[in-house]
Structure 1
Amino acid sequence: MSSSENVSTNNNNNGNNNNPRVARNAQRLALHNVTNTTLAQENVLQNLKPSIASKKEILKESIERSNFLSTSSIPSSQSSNTSTSTNGKSSELNIKQNPINQSNLDDKENLDPYITTGKSLPSIEEENETIDSQHILNEQQSIIEKKDVSTTNSTDLQEKMDAGKKRPISTVVEQDEPKKFKVCDENGTEEYEWEDLDAEDANDPFMVSEYVNDIFDYLHHLEVVTLPRKEDLYQHRNIRQNRDILVNWLVKIHNKFGLLPETLYLAINIMDRFLCKELVQLDKLQLVGTSCLFIASKYEEVYSPSIKHFASETDGACTEEEIKEGENFILKTLDFGLNYPNPMNFLRRISKADDYDIQSRTLAKFLLEISLVDFRFIGILPSLCAAAAMFLSRKMLGKGKWDGNLIHYCGGYTKDQLAPVCHMIMDYLVSPIIHDEFHRKYQSRRFMKASIISVQWALKVRKNDYDIMTLHE
């Protein structure tokens, strides 16, 4: 056996003899490490116990203080300040007990759980207790705020109620009953009773309630002076048919330019009065009508159409110079007398007694314009035509009888005085249409389709043979 083999065998024997010794040494080291770790854990727990106890006492004090604040009646702003102060104090105490920086607390994964120094982390139970206490504080604070909000809402509501009760005297409008007056006949018997509806307009300077009676007395006098005579118009040949054609054309031009209704009434009144005084050839009737509408537009409108517009609508039948000459001649013939009591003024006056109903007034506008376009109404007072138009419009809407207020504010016209004019209007409604532009104008939604409603109602009344003077009474 060689020497190298002896060495290898000796080394193998020594290794086999050392294996159990190494194993025992490893076991001893493991046990030593276990005992060291358990001792370190016990030391850490002993260091954490006093800090946990101190924090529990601080939490109890903060909860008691918050309970005291919630039970005491203090404003919401003070309660919020106290709650923030207690939270600030508790946070300061927590910082004193836990001198670990905020950055270190956020980096919990890198901290050693077995540090033996005074720097210690809060346990899970401790964190749960702090979270519960914070929830309790927040709930109590919200309850206090809700109470404060409810009290403020109740106080605001009470203040509004008090303000409604104690309104300024200037805003309180006292509705006085209008004064009533009686009208008697020559024998002393009472005819009707009316109320003073102008008294409610005493504070409105535009209504001139102190002069309204004098104004309408003058208009009633003026309508007799400016009334054309039908007998004077018959000096023209076929004046009735020619006038119907001319008036139909004037209504078309008036509606196309969008002029005021007063302009059309004044233009036709000027034309009728001029034709009563002057004999006009048939080919000059359109020039007369155009010049009269031009005069009326300058009298009534704020912005009158130019003379070029009127000349262009005649399709070359009238030039601008002819319209100017016709305007000059008409004004000289009438001696510049343009003070015409417009029927629309009387209709507005009656609407006051009708409580300014827009439906009845729109229907009355259509019925009143019949007296303008129909030749048979020449020589009838405008106030009487306005009263008859309002009477029939109220019958169409199923309103009550012709009471004292309506009699007084229409000019004193009774049912017996209105009956002939009302029957004339009904005859025009049931007869064939002559003025198609006039009917087409009032078929629009702007005028609530007054022509369609009126014609249908008139045909129904005549078919059933109703008495329009006693209808709906």
Structure 2
Amino acid sequence: PKEFDVDSENSEDIYNCPEYAKDIFDYLKQREEKFILTNYMPRQPSLNPEMRAILVDWLVEVQENFELYHETLYLAVKMTDHFLSKTPVHKEMLQLVGSTTMLIACKFEELSPPFAEDFLYICDDAYTREELIAMEATILKTLSFDINIPIPYRFLRRYAKCASAGMDTLTLARFYCEISLMEMDLVSVRGSLLASACLLMALVTKDLGGWCPILQFHSGYQTSDLAPVVRRLHSLLLAPPDDKLRAVRNKYSHKVFFEVASLPLVNIDTLEKALSSH
């Protein structure tokens, strides 16, 4: 429908592929069904959710230090989860898995990816080059070389565009989304649904309304679909921050990210009102 058209304004911009944008995101949303995760921790005798959270927190630091795209970070986390859901890993090897998925994600997303040596260096040379390359082959084989996994970040940017959200609102949603990466309970949530929940929370926090018809059309979700994830995110953000997991909050306390980490959390009653308004 014409009133839901957010792409024709870019009709001259070949990089935006305006005539295919909706189809591309519908395809990515379909493709999510191939990459459903469950809580795999019971199958990891040597690991626990806290170790995973510490690894993700470290990957956020790596993304910042190497000035990598956010897509690279999200893809690395997704690959790590899919690999861990299929292969038991000893805790001493967990950092190797994380740095290897980051290396693979860099090759997939970055214009000039860091070298293997850079990834050995950030692990304080705990692993050898041979171990890194062997792990790369193992991960790719385990994932059947199918690593174009739909990530929440792409959906988040798309839906923020549909809502005409400003950069500050998108950045707040990105903060929520990145915090959620640490949480084992949210691993099973589809990226498009997680992105929608993060954006809705940011819109309500900024008093910009709720999940309007244009967002329902482009995301395929109703407010009722988002409610359980929004409530889970809210309780996650309400809990006192873990001192061992500082990377995301520190990152989003910078001016370049509008210092969104220091914004007060939206009141649960305000949130519930937005969730029941449709």
**Shorter-chain TM-score tier:** over 0.9
Is 1:426 aligned to 2:234, yes or no? Answer: yes
Show the counterpart of 1:343: 152
Structure 1 residue 451: Cα displacement:
1.3
Find the aligned partners of 1:281 and 1:310 in 2 and give their Cα distance. 19
Give yes or no for contact 2:253–2:262 (8 Å, CA) kept in 1.
Answer: yes
1:197 is paired with a residue whose SS is coil
Find the aligned partners of 2:19 and 2:241 in 1 and give their Cα distance. 44
Q: Which amino acid aligns with 1:300?
A: E
Show the counterpart of 1:179: 2
Structure 1 residue 221: Cα displacement:
1.4
Find the aligned partners of 1:222 and 1:443 in 2 and give their Cα distance. 34
Find the aligned partners of 2:169 and 2:141 in 1 and give their Cα distance. 40
Show the counterpart of 2:257: 447
Structure 1 residue 317: Cα displacement:
1.2
Give yes or no for contact 1:227–1:381 (8 Å, CA) kept in 2.
Answer: yes
Bigger relative contact order, structure 1 or 2, given CA contacts below 8 A and separation 6+?
A: 2
Find the aligned partners of 1:373 and 1:242 in 2 and give their Cα distance. 10
Is 1:395 aligned to 2:204, yes or no? Answer: yes
Aligned pair partner of 2:220 in 412, 421, 436: 412
Give runs of aligned pairs for residues 62-77 of structure 1, distance below 5 A: none
Show the counterpart of 1:372: 181
1:268 is paired with a residue whose SS is helix
Find the aligned partners of 1:279 and 1:378 in 2 and give their Cα distance. 17
Structure 1 residue 443: Cα displacement:
1.0
Find the aligned partners of 2:37 and 2:258 in 1 and give their Cα distance. 32
Give yes or no for contact 1:415–1:469 (8 Å, CA) kept in 2.
Answer: no
Structure 1 residue 286: Cα displacement:
1.1
Q: Which amino acid aligns with 2:210?
A: K
Tell me which structure has the larger Cα radius of gyration: 1
Find the aligned partners of 1:452 and 1:356 in 2 and give their Cα distance. 20
Find the aligned partners of 1:295 and 1:389 in 2 and give their Cα distance. 27
Is 1:470 aligned to 2:268, yes or no? Answer: no
Find the aligned partners of 2:63 and 2:161 in 1 and give their Cα distance. 27
Give runs of aligned pairs for residues 224-303 of structure 1, distance below 5 A: 224-230=33-39, 232-237=40-45, 238-303=47-112
Quick check: which one's helix share is greater? Answer: 1
Show the counterpart of 1:357: 166
Normalised to the residue count of structure 1, the TM-score between the two structures is 0.55
2:31 is paired with a residue whose SS is helix
Show the counterpart of 2:21: 212
Q: How large is the RMSD of aligned CA atoms in angstroms?
A: 1.8
Find the aligned partners of 2:260 and 2:33 in 1 and give their Cα distance. 30
Write out per-residue CA displacement over residues 46-99 of structure 1, whole angstroms, 9 at most, x where no aligned residue: xxxxxxxxxxxxxxxxxxxxxxxxxxxxxxxxxxxxxxxxxxxxxxxxxxxxxx
Structure 1 residue 430: Cα displacement:
1.0
Structure 1 residue 413: Cα displacement:
1.2
Find the aligned partners of 2:224 and 2:210 in 1 and give their Cα distance. 13
Give yes or no for contact 2:238–2:265 (8 Å, CA) kept in 1.
Answer: no
Find the aligned partners of 2:254 and 2:237 in 1 and give their Cα distance. 17
Normalised to the residue count of structure 2, the TM-score between the two structures is 0.92
Structure 1 residue 239: Cα displacement:
2.1
User: For the structure 1 residues 204 and 316, does the alpha-carbon distance in structure 2 shift closer, same or farther, using more than 3 Å as the test?
Assistant: closer
Give yes or no for contact 1:366–1:442 (8 Å, CA) kept in 2.
Answer: yes
Q: Which amino acid aligns with 1:327?
A: E
Structure 1 residue 209: Cα displacement:
2.1
Identity of aligned residues (%): 34
Query: Number of residue pairs matched?
Result: 273
Find the aligned partners of 2:15 and 2:69 in 1 and give their Cα distance. 20
Structure 1 residue 356: Cα displacement:
4.1
Q: Which amino acid aligns with 1:448?
A: F
Tell me which moved more, 374-383 or 397-406: 397-406
Structure 1 residue 442: Cα displacement:
1.0
Q: Which amino acid aligns with 1:423?
A: R
Give runs of ≥4 in structure 1 deviating > 4 Å.
none
Find the aligned partners of 2:116 and 2:2 in 1 and give their Cα distance. 51
Give yes or no for contact 1:228–1:269 (8 Å, CA) kept in 2.
Answer: no
Show the counterpart of 2:247: 437
Find the aligned partners of 2:113 and 2:6 in 1 and give their Cα distance. 35
